[in-house]
Structures are given as structure tokens and as C-alpha cells.
């Protein structure tokens, strides 16, 4: 049985409260988490991913801003053992020069677009993320919102996949 089968069964067995909490750790939009949970039970991991993508695509702009609040700046120091720390591992070990360039670029981006620069950083070196930042600074606000929403969907899928690999146990279920 693939890992996702066990993970989706456990996820489906969680109480609504625990499932929303688990999803809120993935994306800091309570509306997103609640709407994804309402799609349970999911037949498989793909059904969960598809639901998460649809809900994200339909989020109002204000709630999308709430989702962004859960993401630190690319290159900023993040908590040890946090999801963002794991995703930005290559950036955290980058040289001071590229980290400073990312800091400057982040400030320009935030001044132009009014929100944090969001990119799926998992496994990508700091130099690549900086090049993407420079390219995206050329976008108009509407285009950038679409790109940012797409990047958030990628991040959410990676995190959902991780959740299914090590799902929380339903209430009352003992660990072995």
C-alpha cells in the first residue's frame, strides 16, 4: 500500500478541528483549511491535492494575504525545525553577499507589490531564487498575483505530501 493511502486514511479519520489545525500548519488561511476539510473523505492523495488547489484558486484576495502571512522572507532567518527552514535550507547556507542581495530584492518586491516575495524554494539555491525575484520584479501587479498564487499552490502541495507521509494520528489512536 503506498504511503499516501495510509496517510489519507489517517487524515480522513481526524476530527474536523484536528484536520483544520493540520492544514493551517500548511497554509495560514483558516478559510482555505476549513474549505479543504469540507471535501473529506478523500479517496486518495490526488483528490486532496486537487481540492486544495481548487480552494486556493477561489480564495478572495484578502484571504490570500492571510495565507502569505505564514511565509517568512526568502533568505531571512527562520526558526530551526520549521517547515520554512527546511524548504529554504539551501538559502540559509548561502554566502552573505547573496543573502544581502535577497534582502534588498525582498524590500523592493514588497514596496512594489505590497506582500512578501513567495516562491517555492524547496531544493533551490539562493542564486536561482534571486534570479527569479529579479524577473518577477518586472511583472505588473495582476500578473504577479497570479504567479504568487501558483507558487503558493506548489508550496501547499509539497507540504500536503509531507503531511501524508507523516500524518497526525486521529484522536484516541495510540502510537505503536
pLDDT digits (tens, 9 = 90+) for 56-82: 999 999 899 989 988 887 766 655 445
Q: What pLDDT band is residue 83 in, cutting at 50, 70 and 90? A: low
Handedness of CA 144, 163, 82, 35 (dihedral sign): positive
Predicted local distance difference test score (pLDDT) of residue 145: 95
Average pLDDT of the segment spanning 23-36: 95
CATH fold of 3-165:
UraD-like (1.10.3330)
87/6 Cα distance (integer angstroms): 24
Q: What is the dihedral of CA 124, 61, 116, 80, to 10 degrees?
A: -70
The DSSP line for 116-159 is ------TT--HHHHHHHHHHHTTS-HHHHHHHHHHHHHHHHHHH
Predicted local distance difference test score (pLDDT) of residue 94: 76
Name the residue ranges covered by the structural domains of the chain.
3-165
Q: Kindly report the CA angle at 27 between 56 and 3, in degrees rounded to 5?
A: 95
CB 166 within 8 A of CB 138: no
Q: Which pTM was predicted?
A: 0.84
pLDDT digits (tens, 9 = 90+) for 119-165: 998 889 999 999 999 999 999 999 999 999 999 999 999 999 999 99
| Non-local CB neighbours of 149 within 8 Å, separated by 6+ positions | 56, 57, 64
Amino acid at each position: 500500500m503506498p504511503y499516501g493511502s495510509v496517510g489519507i486514511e489517517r487524515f480522513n479519520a481526524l476530527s474536523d478541528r484536528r484536520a483544520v489545525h493540520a492544514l493551517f500548519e500548511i497554509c495560514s488561511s483558516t478559510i482555505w483549511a476549513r474549505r479543504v476539510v469540507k471535501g473529506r473523505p478523500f479517496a486518495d492523495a490526488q483528490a486532496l491535492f486537487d481540492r486544495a488547489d481548487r480552494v486556493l484558486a477561489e480564495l478572495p484576495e484578502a484571504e490570500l494575504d492571510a495565507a502569505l502571512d505564514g511565509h517568512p522572507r526568502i533568505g531571512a532567518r527562520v526558526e530551526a525545525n520549521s517547515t520554512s527552514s527546511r524548504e529554504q535550507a539551501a538559502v540559509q547556507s548561502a554566502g552573505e553577499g547573496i543573502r544581502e542581495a535577497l534582502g534588498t530584492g525582498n524590500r523592493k518586491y514588497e514596496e512594489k507589490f505590497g506582500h512578501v516575495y513567495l516562491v517555492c524554494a524547496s531544493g533551490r539555491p539562493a542564486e536561482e531564487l534571486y534570479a527569479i525575484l529579479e524577473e518577477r520584479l518586472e511583472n505588473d501587479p495582476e500578473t504577479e498575483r497570479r504567479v504568487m498564487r501558483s507558487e503558493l499552490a506548489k508550496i501547499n502541495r509539497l507540504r500536503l505530501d509531507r503531511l501524508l507521509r507523516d500524518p497526525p494520528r486521529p484522536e484516541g489512536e495510540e502510537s505503536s
